[in-house]
Amino acid sequence: GWAKIDHHRSIRKGIPEAIYGEGKGAEQIVKIAQKMSESGHPILVTRVCPQKASEILKKAPFLEYNSDARLLHSPISPPNNSDKKVITVPVITAGTSDIPVAEEAAITLELNGIRAKRIFDCGVAGIHRLFDHIDVIQKAPVIIVVAGMDGVLPGLIAGIAPCPVIGVPTSIGYGANFKGVAPLLTMLNTCSQGLCVVNIDNGFGAACVAALICSRIKEFNP
């Protein structure tokens, strides 16, 4: 009774509703998932810790859990590789500690039928590691860049990429990092053109923006 699922969303936006898992109990999530599943909706629950996930999986075996990304989701059908229309979006991280947030983004992309190209651990303290991937950067429709600590990488990539870049600050860091505020501010104040930002640790949100850009690339007729 209490949960009002927005079934209409996938029609309206092309992206189905996701469930914010953090504040909810296992039982509550199971009920919502069952309801959505019955009406044939793809399911995505964000920010689910391993323990809660295993409780849920017992009662909702039609779901899968990705512990890196802390996501519970419907099975992902791998994109048909011969399908020319499958778009590939690079998901780049500055450090290895940023990988969980990047995985949240990558899997959300895959749930939306987009191929995610993972490029991890390319931070500016050894910037030559990024240059191996210059080709991917120059051919992308949009790039998701995930960075904690100083948050420098997204602006750097926006300085060379000919496409929009979505920066995701992470809460990785200590001291004057303030749980991700430092990289958030770095990104908001970028001097590079073409960088926009989502909330700290919001890999899901970045993937939604990227998915909508991809859908416009495919479907928009001026």
Ligand X SMILES: Nc1ncnc2c1ncn2[C@@H]1O[C@H](COP(=O)(O)O)[C@@H](O)[C@H]1O
Q: Which of residues 30-49 bind its own copies (CB under 8 A)?
A: 32, 47
Contact status: 169 vs its own copies (CB under 8 A):
yes
Contact status: 177 vs ligand X (CB under 6 A):
no
Contact status: 113 vs its own copies (CB under 8 A):
no
Contact status: 202 vs ligand X (CB under 6 A):
yes
Q: How far is CA 148 from the centre of its chain?
A: 15
Position among 16, 19, 103, 211 found at the interface with ligand X (CB under 6 A):
19
3-class secondary structure, 180: helix
Q: Which ranges of the chain does DSSP label H, i.e. alpha helix?
A: 9-13, 26-38, 50-59, 99-111, 128-131, 134-139, 153-158, 181-188, 203-219
- In the complex, the smallest distance separating the C-beta of residue 207 from ligand X, rounded to whole angstroms, is 10
Position among 92, 111, 145, 151 found at the interface with its own copies (CB under 8 A):
151
- DSSP label at 170? -
Residue 178 · residue 141 · CB < 8 Å: no
CA–CA separation, 116 and 97 (whole Å): 19
Kindly identify the residues of this chain, within the stretch 51-90, that bind its own copies according to CB under 8 A: 84-88
Contact status: 52 vs ligand X (CB under 6 A):
no
Tokens (6 digits) for 79: 């994109």
Position among 36, 56, 63, 99 found at the interface with its own copies (CB under 8 A):
99
How big is the site for Mg ion, counted in residues (CB under 5 A)?
Answer: 2
